[in-house]
């Protein structure tokens, strides 16, 4: 069934509500909403927000595990010209209050199990005028009562495709997260371009399992909405939830490579169950080549798609398709399995010498620059940081290092910026270093990513102590856990002498990483 090309993020949900009103749209736990019901919920959400004074240019915020209410809030806020700032629910209290205040959110939606954290920091959330509690099952739910009492409203006059509709927090050079402002144009362009080359078919169901606070989760959920096929959303990407979704008919999904490893290690029954997937799209973290080969052998009938992207480009910008996966070895190009594929439609790629700014020829290693209509509007409230990464002619300096071969395949091999990706989570080293440096025994610290066969990378700290000071690795890890989300904390700590530095005094992290990555056939994804 043909549908008009969308302009706004909520166009397609409204279209399917009119064309196939009674068909299933979203299943979450024991509840299933039809397209008409789901669109009605979005319109009521918009009406409720409008009654709270939310309008064009405003921000609301959502803090919870995966929940359809988050998608409803994103679409509803967008229809008012406002934006939803989705906060990582795994964050510590001081990280949450920073993000909420930085976004300027006036309304905060909070999952019930996270309310104790919010209660501890409530007096620090200066911009928030109203908090609305959300429950997983909709029982005794403030959100549901608020929704039922609201008057539905449609898209408001004056809203434009360039209005910010989503704010995703991504780590930055200061060690504090930066709010990435994504517009309707960014998100719709991603849906159209990253979806090119494959689409859902009648009878398909999408499994939405990746966290919605990641661009991968909030971008992926728009694909089934675009195609008018039902989704099954899991609250967590745990084994039982994923298995339940597959048993419920989900046959296409996007998951981080760590899930591949977990399934293959779980046993024969899990491997057989996941064979039901028609499409397995993976990315957001390094994928060890042995793991990928094992998965392809275990599921020969599944189409594998690898994607590479960033929050700042609304998600995916390159894709290694299923045919490339199947023919990489037979075509004499096994190296393509560790490539990021080719640029999707609308994306231009340059490889640039980071020192001279000159373009490099095919096969040479440099910084990856991108130009695409998916490119974000900028970092919220940080024009200087925005200017550092977007050139005057619209090129985005990714900070990732790599090359493009003679056939157009992109290889992402290193990072100019000091980012670690563990299990799909972006971890910025200065943020962790800032915390560890506060420990009274620590003289200097370097945070590096080391290979991990399950998570792609693991956080490691290399620490030098003050003369005469003592601190065990376990003590330093516990100190980090008091101030940071657990996934950001080092999994291991080496206590050593003075850290290696170059002549200008910069710590040589490349030298610290080298022993751990030697002999690996894959570095960064």
Please state the rounded mean pLDDT for residues 133-147: 96
pLDDT of 418 > 80? The answer is: no
pLDDT band at 505 (very low <50, low <70, confident <90, very high): low
What integer pLDDT is reported at residue 286 of this predicted model?
A: 62
Please state the rounded mean pLDDT for residues 89-98: 89
- The residues pairing with 170 across neighbouring beta strands, listed in sequence order, are 178
What integer pLDDT is reported at residue 93 of this predicted model?
A: 86
- Going across the sheet that includes 342-343, the strands are 31-34, 24-28, 231-233, 206-208, 252-255, 279-283, 303-310, 315-320, 342-343
Q: Tokens for 434?
A: 């800032």
- Mean pLDDT, rounded, of the chain: 92
pLDDT band at 507 (very low <50, low <70, confident <90, very high): confident
Do the domains 9-159 and 195-301 sit in the same CATH topology, yes or no? Answer: yes
Report the alpha-carbon distance of residue 22 to residue 16 in Å, rounded.
9
Cα dist. 402→224, 298, 366 in Å? 32, 30, 6
Query: Would the CA dihedral through 428, 431, 435, 437 be positive or negative?
Result: positive
Q: Which of 242-246, 387-391, 432-436 has the lowest mean pLDDT?
A: 432-436
Cα dist. 445→156, 419, 430 in Å? 51, 15, 10
What integer pLDDT is reported at residue 88 of this predicted model?
A: 92
What integer pLDDT is reported at residue 519 of this predicted model?
A: 75
Report the alpha-carbon distance of residue 241 to residue 225 in Å, rounded.
21
pLDDT tens per residue, range 101-111: 999 999 999 99
pLDDT tens per residue, range 304-350: 999 999 999 999 999 999 999 999 888 888 889 889 999 999 999 99
What integer pLDDT is reported at residue 301 of this predicted model?
A: 95
254: nearest Cα among 230, 282, 273: 282
pLDDT tens per residue, range 437-449: 889 999 889 999 9
Q: Tally Cβ neighbours within 10 Å of residue 494.
A: 14
Please state the rounded mean pLDDT for residues 40-66: 98
**φ, ψ (nearest 5 deg) of residue 488:** -85, -15
More confident residue, 354 or 252: 252
What integer pLDDT is reported at residue 289 of this predicted model?
A: 73
What integer pLDDT is reported at residue 381 of this predicted model?
A: 96
What integer pLDDT is reported at residue 1 of this predicted model?
A: 57
CATH fold of 420-517 = GMP Synthetase; Chain A, domain 3 (3.30.300)
Helices (H) and strands (E) in the chain, counts: 18, 25
- The pairing of strands 342-343 and 315-320 is antiparallel
33: nearest Cα among 133, 112, 138, 109: 138
pLDDT band at 171 (very low <50, low <70, confident <90, very high): low
Position of tokens 């003050």? 466
What integer pLDDT is reported at residue 525 of this predicted model?
A: 40
pLDDT tens per residue, range 153-169: 999 999 999 999 999 99
Cα dist. 81→113, 128, 183 in Å? 30, 18, 10
Between the two ends of the chain, the Cα-to-Cα distance in Å is: 36
pLDDT of 174 > 70? The answer is: no
Report the alpha-carbon distance of residue 24 to residue 12 in Å, rounded.
14
* Helices of type H across 150-276: 184-194, 215-220, 222-227, 239-247, 257-266, 268-274
Mapped onto helix, strand or coil, the DSSP state of residue 310 is strand
**Taking the domains of the chain in order of start, what are their residue ranges?**
9-159, 195-301, 325-415, 420-517
pLDDT tens per residue, range 369-383: 999 999 999 999 999
What integer pLDDT is reported at residue 379 of this predicted model?
A: 97
Report the alpha-carbon distance of residue 241 to residue 239 in Å, rounded.
6
Report the alpha-carbon distance of residue 409 to residue 361 in Å, rounded.
13
Domain range 325-415, CATH class: mainly beta
Report the alpha-carbon distance of residue 470 to residue 476 in Å, rounded.
11
Q: Which of 155-164, 228-237, 351-360, 434-443 has the lowest mean pLDDT?
A: 434-443
Angle at 9 between CA 6 and CA 13, to 5 degrees: 80
Query: Would the CA dihedral through 210, 246, 285, 190 be positive or negative?
Result: negative
More confident residue, 291 or 487: 487
414: nearest Cα among 405, 401, 399: 401
Superfamily of domain 9-159: ANL, N-terminal domain (3.40.50.12780)
pLDDT band at 173 (very low <50, low <70, confident <90, very high): very low
pLDDT of 522 > 60? The answer is: no
pLDDT tens per residue, range 455-488: 889 999 999 998 889 999 999 999 999 989 999 9
Please state the rounded mean pLDDT for residues 168-195: 87
Contact assessment for residue 174 and residue 75, using Cβ atoms and an 8 Å cutoff? no
CATH fold of 195-301 = Rossmann fold (3.40.50)
What integer pLDDT is reported at residue 71 of this predicted model?
A: 98
Please state the rounded mean pLDDT for residues 206-214: 95
pLDDT of 521 > 90? The answer is: no
Report the alpha-carbon distance of residue 305 to residue 292 in Å, rounded.
11
Residues 6+ apart with CB under 8 A from 300: none
Judge residue 273's burial from the number of C-beta atoms within 10 Å of its C-beta, 0-12 exposed, 13-18 middle, 19 or more buried.
middle
What integer pLDDT is reported at residue 419 of this predicted model?
A: 74
Mapped onto helix, strand or coil, the DSSP state of residue 250 is coil
pLDDT band at 92 (very low <50, low <70, confident <90, very high): confident
44: nearest Cα among 137, 36, 457: 36
């Amino acid at each position: 069934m043909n549908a008009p090309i969308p302009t706004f993020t909520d166009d397609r949900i409204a279209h399917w509500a009119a064309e196939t009103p009674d068909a299933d749209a979203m299943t979450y736990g024991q509840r299933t909403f039809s397209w008409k019901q789901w669109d009605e919920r979005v319109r009521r959400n918009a009406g409720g927000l409008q009654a709270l004074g939310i309008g064009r240019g405003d921000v609301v915020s959502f803090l919870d595990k995966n929940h359809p209410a988050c998608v409803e809030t994103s679409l509803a806020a967008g229809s008012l010209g406002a934006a939803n700032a989705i906060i990582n629910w795994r964050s510590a209290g001081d990280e949450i209050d920073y993000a909420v205040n930085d976004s300027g959110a006036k309304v905060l939606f909070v999952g019930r199990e996270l309310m104790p954290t919010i209660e501890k920091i409530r007096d620090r959330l200066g911009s928030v005028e109203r908090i609305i509690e959300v429950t997983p099952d909709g029982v005794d739910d403030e959100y549901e009562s608020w929704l039922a009492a609201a008057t539905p409203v449609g898209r408001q006059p004056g809203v434009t495709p360039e209005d910010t509709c989503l704010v995703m927090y991504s780590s930055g050079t200061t060690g504090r997260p930066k709010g990435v402002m994504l517009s309707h144009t960014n998100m719709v362009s991603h849906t159209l371009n990253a979806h090119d080359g494959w689409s859902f078919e009648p009878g398909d169901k999408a499994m939405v399992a990746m966290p919605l606070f990641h661009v991968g989760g909030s971008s992926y959920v728009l694909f089934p909405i675009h195609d008018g096929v039902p989704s099954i959303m899991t609250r967590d990407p745990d084994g039982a939830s994923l298995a339940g979704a597959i048993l419920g008919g989900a046959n296409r999904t996007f998951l981080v490579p760590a899930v591949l490893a977990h399934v293959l290690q779980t046993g024969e029954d899990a491997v057989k169950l996941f064979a039901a997937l028609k499409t397995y799209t993976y990315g957001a973290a390094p994928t060890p080549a042995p793991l990928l080969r094992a998965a392809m052998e275990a599921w020969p009938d599944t189409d594998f798609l690898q994607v590479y992207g960033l929050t700042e480009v609304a998600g995916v910008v390159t894709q290694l398709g299923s045919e490339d996966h199947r023919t990489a070895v037979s075509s004499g190009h096994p190296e393509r399995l560790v490539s990021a594929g080719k640029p999707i439609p609308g994306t231009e790629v340059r490889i640039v010498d980071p020192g001279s700014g000159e373009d490099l020829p095919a096969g040479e290693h440099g910084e990856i620059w991108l130009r695409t209509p998916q490119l974000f509007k900028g970092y919220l409230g940080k024009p200087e940081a925005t200017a550092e990464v977007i050139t005057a002619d619209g090129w985005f300096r990714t900070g990732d290092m790599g090359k493009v071969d003679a056939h157009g395949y992109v290889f992402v091999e290193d990072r100019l910026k000091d980012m670690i990706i563990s299990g799909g989570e972006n971890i910025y080293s200065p943020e962790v270093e800032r915390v560890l440096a506060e420990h009274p025994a620590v003289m200097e610290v370097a945070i590096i990513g080391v290979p991990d066969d399950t998570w792609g990378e693991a956080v490691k700290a290399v620490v030098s102590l003050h003369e005469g000071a003592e601190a065990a690795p376990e003590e330093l890890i516990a100190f980090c856990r008091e101030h940071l989300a657990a996934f950001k904390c080092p999994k291991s700590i080496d206590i050593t002498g003075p850290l290696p530095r170059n002549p200008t005094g910069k710590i040589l992290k490349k030298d610290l990483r080298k022993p751990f990555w030697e002999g690996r056939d894959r570095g960064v994804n």
